[in-house]
Structure 1
């Protein structure tokens, strides 16, 4: 642990309260903001109050102190120091303390020490112990640990036993950081000396001290007690004990015990704040050359959920480019760390298969979690491996991005044309074409065509009685059912036919059609009903002999597909392609085969199947879908040549100018970005975005990608960050209707602002504006409709507050996040408790 915090910790742990009576509404607003840790707002209100002429001298002095405090906490120590130098405030009892803080904030640590050190002996000082802890941290920041130890000795000499013990704990921590184990042991206080709030920290330091002394068994006992006792310690401290326990196993040369414990602990705590450390210990426990059956690698595979895709249909259009890529079925830190750790473990195995899978793991991590910190590490590992295999150009590119017809068909043609004419309402032409089809098609198909013609002739008679022949009437009833366009209505009509005509020779045909209808009812597909129809047909093979076997096989394929059984769907699709290569079912089977191979990560085979289908299929919608899936497959093959070919395949879809063209444009841009062809992607997206109206549903997804492409150039072209911010501002100005879009934009704006230097002080980033962007999404009284970016903003705002050491504000922010009862509410509440315990922020 490291206490070298430049900004004084105890200062930021103090509660702010304005002494004396209320000075009006502005004073109350400033007070509330200061108590919540919102320094920006507090300074605004106090400054306004200070400008009033009605304040009494003591009130004015008190307001000035609070304003100085707000400015110091807001990172404006120069303004605070100037104010504290004014005659009307310099004599205030708190002025020296805050002057020391202002000097420290300016980096004038020596001067700050000169101001604060005398306060340790000044009995009239309002904050002697706080000043002492501040001095300690300043001394550590100046690289004077011995002086810091002396200051803590001063606190340790106080009559307040709890304060003295706390000071000793700080000394122990400093000594452990310096690897001075014997000295740390000598000054470690007895357990009874600690205040309740410090006991868990003391126990953790005791365990770490035992481990450093070479007593891993004794340390393990203490670590285990901390793991068993949750109450009275923070979540992070509890999990650090787990990390320590794993270290004791490793210290005792027992990697099997370490891995078994770590796997069980991570399984029980998938959202641990210490996942980085826990997974690092997993790597430490893994053999240098793990076997394929290694338990760590096996468990990591369990934690890596497979991508999820729609089971049927051509493609599901996404409203963003990210939605068009395979994404994990469940997101979370666990999946990210499991992907990364398994990749590193696989790299230890000297087999081409393991190397290929490791590369795939790292690629998936970067594609699925581009904003996670491990995405950059994954790219680094990919670059490292590329260097090791001699792919220098590729490696350097990645590292740079880290830095910155016939007579025989005449009847079928007529039949299809008839169906199209009927669908358009031209029933007379449809009837004529069905008769033409009947003259050309084989006997069974001709009968169907004649009955369709009879139906249409019946329709054209405007309700005149139909044929008196009962058999023909039954046939017409079935044909009416079969002509229904709505699948649910078709199934209901067929079921009515089956009830009334149980012995009709066309019952098998009806059952097959009913099964097809049950599978075509969108999200309400009835797999059980469809299976039951096939089972009934299979039980009466002599009656079902007239059915088209390819059609039966296609229904079985749809059931396998909709049941999300990829292995079964692949096998059935292959069977159809082998047995019925010239049948219409073959094309649909090829699409299902290609999609399931894609979903099974067999990208190369999927691409071959889909490209062959797309180049030969006469159905433009299916061909378009096949081209797009082929392009996706090529994009996911971890080879630069394949990804280059994927761009050409996406261009084929775009050139078709059909419904999926926009998805192809999004995915082409996505791929260019992932290939680090950022300038090309940005140029492509700028032109496209400029052609779209603000209310176009593609405006936001295209804009998001444009912002990403420009933002990605920020490493080598810092001015790109300002342009990316302008894109996000442009999108925000379009007033997106979806709350989630606004949340996402504020998150992206904040992330970008965090990288842009402040115009007034280029050495600082625009984190103040970033915080405002993040926190603005929390300023609502009702739970949001979208949680992901809402909570990302909240936790990023929380992170900035923690980074600045603004502990009361961080606790308030965490509680604000938790108050919405979202997916991460428990995490936020736990974080608030952790901060409160760790930084001694108690409520009255």
Structure 2
């Protein structure tokens, strides 16, 4: 981590002196600014600007509001004021705009803003702006330019010391340690802050000379007198001490200093950076102790608690304690701390959930990462993960535009992102959008590899869709790119086409597979070849089940992480079943479906084969699942309506919401058992809820269905609570928060009754949603009452409710509640 550049402005603010008696409203609004209380000035100036003012007063009030916001530590709001055209030539306003940009670390924008003020002959803050320009240049790594700007300030009596300190810092960074030492000794420092900064720079010189113990001694003196140390210098000193111990191979000694600072400054603005530096020390230690981090996670002080959770999770991941890290990162989702630095924590959670194939949970964590830190690389990586998770979940229409946005926002990722977007459009047969992205790739000569890969993908997708032109496209790829690394994949695709012809060409498929195996196959090509080999053995005229079993078993051994695993395991189970090896068939069915086969084994095998196929990414797998489900329906057995519900779920995944609703209606109108009826009713409501994003009237229709499900006589608690929770969410989407609150509370009220069947998952979701709505409305007493009910049921989230209950009571002095 780089040490943050030091920047102290000697800005001479515009002060308005006026006694209370006879002061104008504008003077009253400005007085807190001159008194050093910018927060009050912000409130007064905002109120004043709602009134009708003379143009000159209006501009002055706007300018001073910008300054007050910047000085109050609210740079984002300050920049919103800075866009006012009337402030373009208002030099004080432009200076404070630059200050706001600097506070946000937007140095490339701050530097020209400072330079403009510094170059203006009539600007009252020229020297201040010049110093700011130099600090911006330093932050951008333009040290020679920074020196050029600082040297004239040495001739200014007010700025001589500050400029010299800045020059010395730059000389140290450039390696001129002797010159920096000589310059620092050339001036008498009257201000305590300047003396402390000089001591800091002496410590840096010792550090760069490799005298680590001496550097640590000098720097430690600064921490002994914190009252005389400006905050940026204090943080820079902590970092310098940490660097001293890192470079001196004594990280265990350095972490004590940072831990002590965190212990006594639990809400410091620089806490995220201090934690990050502490983590560097922990990484360098042979046996780091997480005791302090663990203790802070048990305390209620924010943002220290949230940051401790994040860095404890990092430490646990390094130690191989994945489940413990997941728990900490998941708990962090409920933190009130909303720091950009926690965006990386949410991204790490998203990455772990993605690895567990929990697509929706990974997407939710990725979205949280983007909200917390949208402008950094974390935001870009999170967007990519969200797109890929949607892709893997079969939601290609959602993934494609996200990939396109990544390509637009992050040039470094543009090539791969455009490729993925084009692939998504191709697979859902959006030809115009595919062509658009393909042209963008083709226009860049550096992307020839992507272009050839996309041509191969086009042929493979056409093959998966059963299009007649697929074989021609694949043969053209083989002819035009004989040395392409993915040549074997084209041969495998041709083999698949031969196999899937109306009258399967088994000999042609085997010949193409042989070509694939001789073409230096990639792991993906070898996987698909081994997969097809199973089906070729299964389709042989004189079928030998032992060959099917051998091929399927070998596939599972050689490709344990394949997306085809479920289908292969089902084929293995079917082969055992056809050979009447029921013991092995049962084992495979249990592995596949986690359910023992019974007298209706065939129906269940088909049903769970379909369920397994649905987990695969490819459109062909979904088609296969639909075919299997259709066979289940035709059997007219116990699973008929369950199969129809699964077909509806597939149509939803394919974005065919109207088709899904039609299937659910068929289930609801026929003789399905209550469980299938409830599944269909809830599924239809869920589809309408999803469609509410484009037509809000669908939320009302969904609400009616959820209500119908919740009021069904004898409905199990799982369905009743789920319906109540989802109804509440639909009401929230309809901007009817009072009704949503009432609905959530009804779930809580009914679920807490001792004579009722208990169900905790949806019960807690509804209860916490009710509490969150009350907290949003600042109705703390009611929120406490809800958390008390949640804590009383002794379920899985009772401790979470108790923690939040205690926190609210302490924060809002509600111990009598």
TM-score of the two chains, using structure 2 as the length reference:
0.39
| TM-score when normalising by structure 1 | 0.38
Greater Cα radius of gyration, structure 1 or 2:
1
